[in-house]
Amino acid sequence: MITQEEIALLLPALETDRIEKTVSRNNTDKFGEAICAFCNDMPGHGLPGYLIIGANDNGSLNGTKVDEQLMQTLLDFRTDGRIVPPPALAVAKFSFDEGEIAVVEVQPSKVPPARYKGRVCIRVGQRRGFANEAEERILSERRSIYSRTFDTRPAYESDLNELSVELFKLTYLPTAIDSETLEANGREITEQLSSLKFFDLKAGIPTNAGILLFGKNPRFYLPGAYIQYVRFIGPDEVSDFDFEHRFEGDLTTQIRVIKDFIKSQIEKRVQNGLGEPYELAYPASAVEELIYNAIIHRDYESNAPIKFYEFSDRIEITNPGGLFGDARPENFPNKNDYRNPTLAEAAKNLGFINAFNVGVKRAKAALLKNGSPDPIFIVDQPTSFGVVIFKKR
């Protein structure tokens, strides 16, 4: 809790996104909204906020009497359900020559957005108000960042028998652990899996990443964990199609299958005229990078698959889950963040990606080198991410 000396320094300061002063003793809605706003920590300071009761804007005290009733009124916000999730706060009374003040120290919530009476309160600078849709989306994604990521959470109702241990040992371990350590490794298989975030020792079951990468039947636990490929004859989805396929099963195997499929079926050689050199309709490396991007960044809590649609003039790849964390439409693709960091790490270890945060840039570079049109990225949807790659004419 803040000390009296520190409060004395804060009192004359202007109100900020971490400080609010009031002389009211009875406006509980004002108290609740202020506490909720500090919980949400919209600017992302990661530091506590302070509601100071009994002080004027200029820091002078108004002679408020801080009694037990006021202290209890403030403490009630911790447990009475008006703010959800419940705030982490502390309340203290400080006495000065000019009078008394009550101070509420509020910690940023690890699972934002917090709501007071159903509304998301935020504070930016001296302004306190209610979050708009974009601000609420930022807070929701920040919640995912602070919380344990989905791919490292336990896959409840599964067990070790659901994993292909041999696939893990023979295919993955050599890519993730150096040979000397492997030779000296005498740990149980569950401990080996756990050290790489594929098994939760406390729960005694595989994680979602373990099920996705080495599961014998991932879709039993994660129904949307597959890629739906359709090749349409025409330029839209009402056109007839001549081929359809589902890529499903453990990702360790399926990513290799997809890589071979793209090389043999998508990277078509085209010739503009007799005697002209052959060119590529789509460079395989660009399509691969964008598919890997979809696999790593998709929202696996959604039952929808990744859509990999090839039309007569373009390819569209769409995955559930919009831009995540620090990534925003205005800073994409220069800023990146991982919804599934364990999957990203696994893809790197398995050699499917060469480096973090550069997949989209590498795809754009491959398209440019091929002389293909610039891709279009659909980044303004909160629940999906899409990219359109145009066929080289």
Strands 19-22 vs 49-53: parallel, antiparallel or unpaired: parallel
- Cβ partners under 8 Å of residue 176, min gap 6: 196, 346, 349
Q: Where are the beta strands (DSSP E) in 131-225?
A: 199-200, 205-206
55: Cα separation from own chain's centroid: 40
Among 64, 38, 202, 178, smallest CA distance to 121 is for: 38
Measure the CA angle with vertex 342, ends 220 and 282; round to 5°: 85
Q: What is the pLDDT of residue 279?
A: 79
204: Cα separation from own chain's centroid: 25
Q: What is the pLDDT of residue 173?
A: 86
Asked if 199 contacts 160 with a C-beta cutoff of 8 angstroms, the reply is yes
pTM (predicted TM-score): 0.63
All structural domains of the chain, each given as residue ranges with its CATH number in brackets, are 4-147 (3.30.950), 151-221 (no CATH), 226-390 (3.30.565.60)
16: tokens are 């900020």
Strand partners, 280: 269
pLDDT tens by residue, the chain, 393 residues: 899 999 998 888 888 889 999 998 889 999 999 999 999 999 999 999 999 999 998 889 988 889 999 999 999 888 777 887 778 899 999 999 889 999 999 999 876 878 888 788 999 888 899 888 678 778 866 754 555 788 988 999 999 999 999 999 999 988 877 676 667 667 789 988 887 889 988 889 999 999 999 999 999 999 999 999 999 999 999 999 999 999 999 999 999 999 999 999 987 766 666 666 677 889 999 999 999 999 999 999 999 999 999 999 999 999 999 888 778 888 888 877 788 888 988 888 888 887 677 789 899 999 999 999 999 999 988 899 999 999 987
